[in-house]
Amino acid sequence: MPKPHTRSLALLSVSHACVDVYQGAVAALIPFFVAERAYSYAAASGIVLAASLLSSVVQPLFGALTDRWPLPWLLPVSTLAGGTGVALAGVSGSYAVTLVVVAVSGVGAAAYHPEAARVARRASRGSHTAMGWFSLGGNLGFATAPLLVAAVVATGGLRASPLLVVPALAGTALCVAALRTAGARPPAPKGGPGEQAGRDDWASFARLSGAIVCRSIVFVGLSTFLALYVRERTSGGEVSGTVALFVLYAGGAVGTVAGGRLATRFGRLPVVRWSYALTALAVAGVVLVPGPLLYGCVALTSAGLYVPFSLHITLGQDYLPRRVGTAGGVTLGLTVSIGGIASPLIGALADVTSLQVALAPLIALPAVGWFLLRPLREPAVPESVAGPEAEEGGQGVALESARSRTFRA
């Protein structure tokens, strides 16, 4: 059986970090927009919406395009676009201009993820752990964003934001190197676009997507307001908020890799279900627990949100084996970025009540996701990408079936 292409995955993982640092940077910039430009919560969250809304719409379109034609050039071009948009966010004092350049950054992320997920899927050869490493890169980018933004903007103000383009320049070079290492993409099998092993299970994919939407709203809502909320709850100033946001993102470094390893042993769906259950309890702690213990709840929330992250991608691709670009566009794009649409609603509620009241509804969403996931069955891994660990994953399928009553109780 073929083994994962380690070098290609390493390059893709680091380039993934260079792209997703800008998705995390948008949320990390919010406290600075509030402080320097006196934006309301609703206005500040509108910036997150600008990054998410257009991305949500166009990302599935990019996925559908990559199902039909190879578009490797999208990787370096989209990386550069994502970084340029955020780098220009602090240059103009105009709210409208800020919205536009942040939207450009969101389109860059939208263009990157479907093709990157396809290339990573082929390089991983069906390995859950290998896809976990690819996802880890993106999560590390998110985790680094608050530190990067704090280092640049806290020192030089919003007008220093052009310095934030540096990761995009590095990521562009890494994308080019990754594509050269991976070589030309093999042509699609005869009989139609995409990978033709198996049938597309749209009903299961819809349930999975609904669960990811719930996860996305929780993640984006906390990303947008956690720094401000922790500053209010702990009276610790800007540093306390930055630390909390870093903990939320940094937990992905452990959670994403752990998710791949746990899925190899127990099966993907049991791991995903229990992660959603843990998230519901952890978010309740974030909203309700006072003082320094709040940081522990943030760490548990991070674990619950990130453990299933790479598993969402592989499950989506295996539910739609003929449309892996579309699956990547939805699981990495539409359902993830759609969480930004809820941010202005949370901000508007916070303006008329409090941040604690506005964040309280996030407690219920992971439970809704768990109910959506409960009826799902483990999909088969197509032979075109199956590798040694995929075979072990097959054992996980059998194990999941044997233990279904236990894990679903």
Measure the CA–CA gap between 308 and 364, rounded to whole angstroms.
18
Q: What is the rounded CA–CA span in Å between residue 361 and residue 287?
A: 10
C-alpha 376/C-alpha 316 separation (Å) is 12
Counts of helices then strands in the chain (DSSP H, E): 18, 0
pTM attached to this predicted model = 0.71
CB-based contact 154:147 (threshold 8 Å): no
Per DSSP, 164 falls in state: G
Q: What is the pLDDT of residues 87-143, one digit of tens each?
A: 999 888 889 999 999 999 988 988 888 888 878 877 777 676 777 788 788 878 877
Q: Can you tell me the mean pLDDT for 394-404?
A: 42
Residue % of the chain over a pLDDT of 70: 86
**Among the listed residues 128, 115, 15, 122, the one whose alpha carbon sits nearest the alpha carbon of residue 69:** 115
Domain residue extents for the chain: 6-184+194-408
pLDDT for 197 = 55
Q: Are 8 and 119 in contact (CB under 8 A)?
A: yes
36-37-38-40 Cα dihedral, nearest 10 degrees: -120
Q: Which of helix, strand or coil describes residue 323? A: coil
Instruction: Give tens-digit pLDDT for 15-49.
Output: 999 998 998 888 888 888 888 888 887 888 788 87
CATH of domain 6-184+194-408: 1.20.1250.20
